Amino acid sequence: MTPGALLEAEDLTAAYGRAQVLFGVSLAVAPGEVLALVGRNGAGKSTTLKALMGLVPAGGAVRLGGRDIARLATFERARLGLGYVPEDRRVFTDLTVLENLEAGRRPPRPGQAPFTEARLFAMFPNLAEMRHRRGGAMSGGEQQMLTLARTLMGNPSVLLLDEPSEGLAPRIVAEMAKAVAALKAEGLSILVSEQNVAFTRAVADRAVLIERGTVRASGPVGEIEARLAAAALGGDAQ
């Protein structure tokens, strides 16, 4: 175990059928820390988040607040405080913004300021202006904001963010980075899978480099990004 870690994975393995994707991934997220998972497409970043959330069959240890959650179902992990924002958004298209937020509501956690509609609308002004709009009538960037806001309505203690800037306009990416920075300032622990270098530098404290389902390095964001860039130029990373 890593002393003081709020979320920890130890020797995490995962596979899709007979195709193994993760080979003993270990990482730890401290309270109030933003840890970035970096690596090229297919390296295993998204699978790591899904394995932590219980969305794919996985082996190894997963601990949340010191408690072993590796054998718990996804909904049980969510109830204990693990929030997940998928890359493909998955808003309820027939529900309004307000109804989507209500669907994610969970009771506040002891010692943690609860996320409310008012608090989230202050963080995402665009959502406030379209609170009665159905999810299916929103742009991709607006849906990404809504997915994050809906997850926050569950009052998580740790947030898993999968490629939050993928395919978004620069203005929306900047708003997402601002929101993540605000959450970090409020003490929320975040594990983010991201390929956008500027986004990672703006929000992350540390980074973990994953190649071919294995952790190759961890440390300050600048050092890890330099290693990733060098590997890309040499054609070694996957």
User: Residue 41: is its pLDDT beyond 60?
Assistant: yes
Distance CA 185, CA 195 (A): 22
Phi-psi region of 171 (alpha: psi -120 to 50; beta: other; left: phi over 0): alpha
User: Residue 154: is its pLDDT beyond 70?
Assistant: yes
Q: Spell out the residues 6+ positions from residue 118 whose beta carbon is closer than 8 angstroms to its own.
A: none
User: Residue 213: is its pLDDT beyond 80?
Assistant: yes
Question: In the predicted model, what is the mean pLDDT of residues 13-42?
Answer: 93
Confidence of residue 225 (pLDDT cuts 50, 70, 90): confident
Long-range Cβ contacts of 106-115 (<8 Å, 24+ apart): 106/78, 106/79, 106/153, 106/154, 106/155, 107/155, 108/155, 109/81, 109/155, 109/157, 112/155, 112/157, 113/186, 114/155, 115/152, 115/153, 115/155
User: Residue 232: is its pLDDT beyond 70?
Assistant: no
Confidence of residue 50 (pLDDT cuts 50, 70, 90): very high
One CATH from 3.20.20.70, 3.40.50.300, 3.90.550.10, 3.30.450.20 for 7-230: 3.40.50.300
User: Residue 231: is its pLDDT beyond 70?
Assistant: no
The least confident of 71-80, 103-112, 223-232 is 223-232
User: Residue 3: is its pLDDT beyond 80?
Assistant: no
Q: Are strands 158-162 and 82-85 parallel, antiparallel or unpaired?
A: parallel
pLDDT-above-90 percentage for the chain = 66
- What confidence score (pLDDT) does residue 236 get? 41
Residue 51: phi, psi to the nearest 5? -65, -40
pLDDT-above-70 percentage for the chain = 95
The token pair that represents 81 in the structure block: 């405080």
Phi-psi region of 12 (alpha: psi -120 to 50; beta: other; left: phi over 0): beta
Find out whether 43 and 237 touch, Cβ atoms under 8 Å. yes
By C-alpha distance, which of 202, 193, 191, 181 is closest to 158? 191
User: Residue 237: is its pLDDT beyond 60?
Assistant: no
Between 19 and 3, the more confident residue is 19
- What confidence score (pLDDT) does residue 230 get? 67
